[in-house]
Chain A
Amino acid sequence: MRAHIDKIGGSIDVSSACGRGTAFTIKIPLTLAIVSALIIEVGAERFAVPQLAVVELVRVRNGSELSIERIKQTPVLRLRNKLLALVDLKTLLRIDSRAEAKTEGAFVVVLQVAGETFGVVVEAVFDTEEIVVKPMASRLRQSAMFSGNTILGDGSVILILDPNGIARAIGIAGARQQSRAEDRPSEDHAAPTESMLVFRAGTPNPKAVPLSLVTRLEEIDARTIELSNGRPVVQYRGQLMPLVAVSADVKVRSTGTQPVLVFADDRRALALAVDEIIDIVEDRFDIELTGDTPGLLGSAVIKGRATEIIDVSHFLRLAFDDWRDWKERTADGRVRTVLLVDDAAFFRNMLSPVLRAAGYAVTAAASASEALALLETDQAFDCLITDIDMPGMSGFDLATVVRSNPRTAEVPIIGLASIVSPEAVERGKHAGLLDCVTKFDRSRLIAALKNQVAA
């Protein structure tokens, strides 16, 4: 148990008091997605459907009022005087079940996705379970029908159906997406939403950091803060973790508990001391870069208040003088250079510090043409990371051009997408992308970069 919780970045504490009982304190990272799911069965296989997409369950029976009818081959259901398009899950997933389908009745799970309603025919419906969504293994990601998998309470592995994927497969959402794209030509490239962790440290006005960068939130007993080499440290999972204040105005407490944000990579952890953690806000943010205050990236308006966005890489360097050297030393001592292309300032500002913290020298470009101009200069880049979805020249087109130029043909290219779809992977493959990573998946991005630039 302990090993598993450690593995996902959590911790477990047990305290026993004689005659009073035992208290288990389990902490798990914020990033785990727990959803409520409906368990259904078709062809002796069980699947989970996110409860969020389920509108209702209908039991259908041949000969009864509610029965499945067909228009040519297409199954439909008359439901409250409206025709509901149906999809037979067994056919869709090409499940060949030896067991004869239960003919006397079936269930229709009515799903709603992006305003479209359709029914999925299944053989049995079980209860709902709270499940922890785990991503599909990379070998299985090309199927759009599943959004992930999980382990049920009985220990079996179950696949989680993606209502969007099903809708696309039967052509419902596809048609709609097209029309929607025509409706709003400009909106498409607005910055996607991001979760920000808002906190107070030193000054009365709030500060924030992207939640995706934070590994954990902790409250540390102030008495356990020790000094090492004149700097505050805490013992954390058998290691010394440096404690850094976000600004000089933050007094590291000596009594009570000290709230900290923990940032960790494979080997090191850093605790950032703050006064108070306020909230997690999910919205679109425009970060305006501000001057030279070390530790600050810029500011953004979050919930109507001007909020300072902190630069995590600054504190990492502060805590580990050798942070950069240590990373660089992995190869021949030369700093690896990365060209980051993204039309959204938000991501340029967000990802550059992440890459810098990982020991790379980053040059950012706001468009494919700007990137090509940079590649034309004498500066050599060890890797190109590009957003695939950009106005004008897309990341795919950029990759194609870079590949066709003999001078840059060898530069590894990693694609960035808000959502990595099988289509994108396929297109990327043709354009010469070596890997495709979602924008918020910081650890996969670093891993992909390490893979490509290692040689």
Chain B
Amino acid sequence: MADGESQYVTATVGGQLVGLPIERVQDVFIPDRLTRVPLAPPEVAGLLNVRGRIVTIVDMWQRLGGERRNERPLAIGIEHDGEFYGLLVDQIGEVLNLPAAHAEGNPINLDSRLAAVSVGIHRLDTQLMVVLDVDRVLEFGACAQAA
């Protein structure tokens, strides 16, 4: 990997292409048999046993805005503060090697839900990719104030 390049795992959420820094992504899995959590924040889709760990599944359509487009969504596994989370997305794309020079800050008129969790936009040939700040994606519910 050349200097000034970053690797991103890409995914789509409600038609929007997003990218997550590859070093934060642990695995990708198919969520099955979710345990719903009553009274939880709307962003929490449920809990899941992934190889003996209890993983909190985050509904990214709720978090970022957008319609679910896939009846069999995938989950991107990440770790945050010693806890495990799975981000539900419509589709997982390829891993992209992107030069930092192609990144820009958020446009000022970006959807506020996206702006809250985005660290910038990458201009790809055919579309734009929103780079997500994983930590900020998880700032909701009881922990939103801890930031």
Q: Within the complex, which residue of A45, A139, A429 is in contact with B138, where a contact is CB–CB below 8 Å? A: A139
Chain B: interface residue count, which band?
20 to 34
B83 touches A137 (CB 8 A): yes
B54 touches A134 (CB 8 A): yes
Cα distance A141–B44 in the bound complex, in angstroms: 12
B38 touches A140 (CB 8 A): no
0 or 1 for each of B68-106: is its CB under 8 Å from A? (1 = yes): 000000000000011101000000000000000000000
A425 touches B35 (CB 8 A): no
Residues of A within 8 Å of B49, CB to CB, are 151, 155-157
B142 touches A157 (CB 8 A): no
Cα distance A95–B41 in the bound complex, in angstroms: 14
Cα distance A150–B47 in the bound complex, in angstroms: 10
Q: Within the complex, which residue of B33, B37, B146 is in contact with A159, where a contact is CB–CB below 8 Å? A: B37
B54 touches A149 (CB 8 A): yes
B146 touches A157 (CB 8 A): no
Q: Within the complex, which residue of A137, A158, A429 is in contact with B145, where a contact is CB–CB below 8 Å? A: A429
B33 touches A156 (CB 8 A): yes
Cα distance A158–B140 in the bound complex, in angstroms: 22
Give the residue among A4, A138, A151, A155 with the most B Cβ atoms within 10 A: A138
If A4-B52, A157-B47, A447-B82 touch, does A140 touch B142 (CB 8 Å cutoff)? yes
A157 touches B35 (CB 8 A): yes
A143 touches B47 (CB 8 A): no
Residues of B within 8 Å of A156, CB to CB, are 33, 35, 49
Q: Within the complex, which residue of B41, B54, B81, B85 is in contact with A157, where a contact is CB–CB below 8 Å? A: B54
0 or 1 for each of B117-147: is its CB under 8 Å from A? (1 = yes): 0000000000000000000001011110110
**Interface flag for B60 (CB, 8 Å):** no
Residues of B within 8 Å of A434, CB to CB, are 146
A159 touches B143 (CB 8 A): no
Interface SS majority for chain A: mixed
Give the residue among A95, A138, A139, A143 with the most B Cβ atoms within 10 A: A139
- Tally A residues with Cβ within 8 Å of B: 29
Residues of A within 8 Å of B12, CB to CB, are none
Residues of A within 8 Å of B48, CB to CB, are 157
**Interface flag for B2 (CB, 8 Å):** no
Q: Within the complex, which residue of A94, A137, A146, A150 is in contact with B56, where a contact is CB–CB below 8 Å? A: A137
**Interface flag for A196 (CB, 8 Å):** no
Cα distance A139–B35 in the bound complex, in angstroms: 15
When C-beta atoms are compared, the residue in chain B nearest to A425 turns out to be B142
If A94-B38, A156-B35, A158-B35 touch, does A139 touch B145 (CB 8 Å cutoff)? no
B38 touches A45 (CB 8 A): yes
A-contacting residues of B (Cβ < 8 Å)?
Answer: 33, 35-41, 43-44, 47-49, 52, 54, 56, 81-83, 85, 138, 140-143, 145-146
B-contacting residues of A (Cβ < 8 Å)?
Answer: 4, 45, 93-95, 134, 137-143, 145-146, 149-151, 155-159, 422, 425, 429, 434-435, 447
Contacts beyond the supplied A45-B35, A138-B81, A139-B140: 9 A-B pairs with Cβ under 8 Å: A137-B83, A138-B143, A138-B146, A139-B141, A140-B40, A140-B41, A141-B142, A149-B54, A151-B52
